[in-house]
Amino acid sequence: MSTASAAPQPVVTCVGLTKTYRLALGHELTALSGLNLEVMPREIFGIVGPNGSGKTTTLKLLLGLIFPTAGYCTVLGHHPRSPQGKESIGFMPEGPFFYQHLNGQEVIEFFGQLCGMPKALLRERTETLLSLVGMSARRRVVMSQCSKGMVQRIGLAAAMVNDPSLIMMDEPTSGLDPIGTREIKDLILELREQGKTVLLCSHLLEQVQEICDRVAILHRGELLRVGRVEDILAPVDDTEVVVGGASAEFLAQCKEMGIRIDTAKRDPTLVVPPSVPLFDLIQAIQKDGARLVAVNRFRETLETVFLRSVAAVGQTDSVRGEHD
Ligand SMILES: Nc1ncnc2c1ncn2[C@@H]1O[C@H](COP(=O)(O)OP(=O)(O)O)[C@@H](O)[C@H]1O
Ligand SMILES: [Mg+2]
């Protein structure tokens, strides 16, 4: 009997993963609450959410730096503290810091030596990594002279020195200018091309949504949503109509027609489903004496999904108690 090819095993598994920190005076803070998650091979998986939502705590648990209060996680099929798993993991912390007098090449070699890599292999690997992160020509620039983007690239190279199959990154684009951000994002995409699995954390939802295959949205330690970015974002066949000076009656009418109204911006924005004929709507705007400011194809962002999801859970998420 022929055996069907085995289903791919998750690279990272979190089951009911919970972390409660003990604070002073007997207080406690649950930074992560019952997280269930699977990261599959060769995907770029983003854990996103605002500051304090439990992203770094999740990474620390996966790296075996802290212990869960409840639940468990596995990384590459191993317990996070197992040495076997560690061999194939790369980690880039938030804002990596290196000895300021070392240059980029020396930093990579230093990390390779820590991994016990033989000299010849390390030399070859360093060349490959310098080229991968676009630092070959700038290998002799010492860390104290490097821009934040250059430090980040060297940080990524250092995290990759042992040729890991899973790379975890904490806030990889934080503090970078638009060009630096673009370059790091391209590098992350390149890692996936090379068959790596990337698990990244970011509070910059809009920045990472374009490169992540799947995201988990965290809020105060709770998982709000998880899924493919295109499934989480609303369909793009809605149209965004921005109106100025619309009457309350007109907006109420719009709602009745199934139009969502975003009042967060300066002018109300109507999110119009394809079922509403645009021509009729524009005529109605004119009749109301309102101004048509702009008509765009509606593009939802993870940020708006996040805000809607938080609004949907409403008061129920505050039962966990206050942070900070
Ligand atoms: N070692 C710690 N002791 C006490 N509280 C902590 C500790 N580390 C993190 N926290 C708290 O846990 C919550 C989640 O933190 P963190 O995981 O760093 O969030 P994020 O990375 O999403 O910004 C925050 O409220 C933070 O203040
Ligand atoms: Mg963090």
What is the position in ligand 1's atom list of the atom closest to the CA of 57?
17
Q: How far apart are CA 106 and CA 123, in angstroms?
A: 11
So what's the pLDDT on residue 62? 97
Mutate to test the pocket of ligand 1, among 21, 58, 199 (most ligand atoms within 8 A of CB): 21
So what's the pLDDT on residue 234? 66
DSSP designation for 115: T
Mutate to test the pocket of ligand 1, among 14, 56, 57 (most ligand atoms within 8 A of CB): 57
What is the position in ligand 1's atom list of the atom closest to the CA of 218?
22
Q: How far is CA 65 from the centre of its chain?
A: 21
Q: Are 81 and 67 in contact (CB under 8 A)?
A: no
Neighbours of 9 (CB within 10 A): 12
Ligand 1: residues whose CB is within 6 Å?
21, 23, 29, 31, 49, 51-57, 323-324
Determine which residue's CA is closest to atom 2 belonging to ligand 1.
21
For residue 241, the SS3 value is strand
Torsion angle of the four alpha carbons 207, 210, 211, 214, in this order, in degrees rounded to the nearest 10: 110
In Å, what is the CA distance from 237 to each residue of 228, 256, 271?
18, 19, 10
Report every protein residue that has its C-beta within 5 angstroms of ion ligand 2.
55-56
Burial annotation 171-190 (CB, 10 A radius, 16+ → b, else e): bbbbebeeebbebbbebbee
Q: How far apart are CA 270 and CA 254, in angstroms?
A: 8
Q: How far apart are CA 107 and CA 268, in angstroms?
A: 52
Tens of each residue's pLDDT in the chain, 324 residues:
445 567 889 999 999 999 999 998 889 999 999 999 999 999 999 999 989 999 999 999 999 999 999 999 999 999 998 888 788 999 999 988 999 999 999 999 999 998 889 999 999 999 999 999 999 999 999 999 999 889 999 999 999 999 999 999 999 998 888 888 898 999 999 999 999 999 999 998 888 888 999 999 999 999 999 999 888 876 668 899 999 999 999 999 999 989 988 877 778 899 998 899 999 999 999 999 999 999 988 877 778 788 877 777 764 443 333 333
Question: What is the Å distance from ligand 1's center to 31 Cα?
Answer: 6
What backbone torsions phi and psi does residue 233 show, to the nearest 5 degrees? -75, 145
Which residue(s) pair with 78 in the sheet? 75
Question: What is the Å distance from ligand 1's center to 29 Cα?
Answer: 9
Q: How far apart are CA 47 and CA 53, in angstroms?
A: 10
* pTM exceeds 0.85: no
What is the helix (H) or strand (E) element at residue 16, kind and residue range?
Answer: strand 12-22
Q: How far is CA 96 from the centre of its chain?
A: 17
Mutate to test the pocket of ligand 1, among 23, 29, 48 (most ligand atoms within 8 A of CB): 29
So what's the pLDDT on residue 319? 31
